[in-house]
Structure 1
Amino acid sequence: MSSTKTKREGKDSHNEQEMNEIQEVFQFYDTKGDGRVKVDQLGHCLRSLGLCPTEAQIAKLTENASERISFLPMLHAIRKEGAADRDETELSAFLENLDRDSSGSVFQSDLRRMLTVFGEPLSESEYEQITAGREKEEGKINISELVQTLLSFK
């Protein structure tokens, strides 16, 4: 029981450190001291925290904001962006395990088996939708293209 408590305390401490870092960066960009940052500075703010949002993602996050955005919407953006980065990393790592020859691609037969048999299996039509037009020479599919396609279905 004590080890679980220690793990939780460690996680809480880590989250507290992250929150302090986020607040520090936010305050740096809050030039007026009103608890908000300029919408056009949000990308810089997120990148200062090690995230890599695209301009399209930033535009979507700020579409309902006026000229300035408050801390909570920015925090939501950070958590969403961080989760997306983790999803992409984990999915890439999983698919790289299927890359028999380290070519950056997987055999379509291996992929079909993994996605339609194991875990929460996809139907054949879902599998076909994901892989349509993706097969390359020798029956392989590019991993990075596949990751982007799979993440777009969320």
Structure 2
Amino acid sequence: MDDDEELAIPVPINNDLERRIADAFEVFDHAGNKTVDVREVGTIVRGLGCCPTEAEVQEIIVAVEDPETAGSIHLSRFLPYISQIITEHKYEPASPEELLKAFHTVDVEQRGFLTKECVSTLMTQGGEPFNQDELDEMLEIAIDPHTQTVPYEYYINQLMYEPEGEHNVYNLADRVEAEKPPPVIVTRRMSSYLKNAANIL
């Protein structure tokens, strides 16, 4: 089977979670052949409501990149992998409480704000550093124009949009998992084991 025939095979969508993932994927499938450029993976996954680091995005790419066509990802590989990630609640965004705790850790004087310089240093030198464009975008929202500081409780409130119900992809995954039928457990009696053993001998 050549590549064109493989691309033409429909990818089965088995539940609402897979439909949500496929819809997000298809936004970036500009050729309509169920493939996207690897550079779109981070955008797709974050668009679903996940918060992976750049290193985690690279791990996803390594796991799902098409071995035959480097630089592209086919929906048939992407869909089950991302579905499993979401079902396992990986890359969930931090809660407002976790963010507040992190800000309190940095704000040792407990002033309720951080200076622009402090935030800039933290975001460009610690953890997974922001590039200048990302930093500028963040500061545009975070900085109070009157005080030139980051009043972090206000900033967290601006940031936090918590989708309700199944708009949250993790809630959707929980429902899909709960609806799966329980696995069928096959029990065998000792007599059948003995009978099979006797037949072998």
The structure having more radius of gyration, on CA atoms, is: 2
Q: Greater RCO between the two (CA within 8 Å, min separation 6)?
A: 2
Task: Give the TM-score range, shorter chain.
Answer: 0.3 to 0.5
Structure that is richer in helix per residue: 1
Q: Please, what TM-score do these two structures have when normalized by structure 1?
A: 0.42
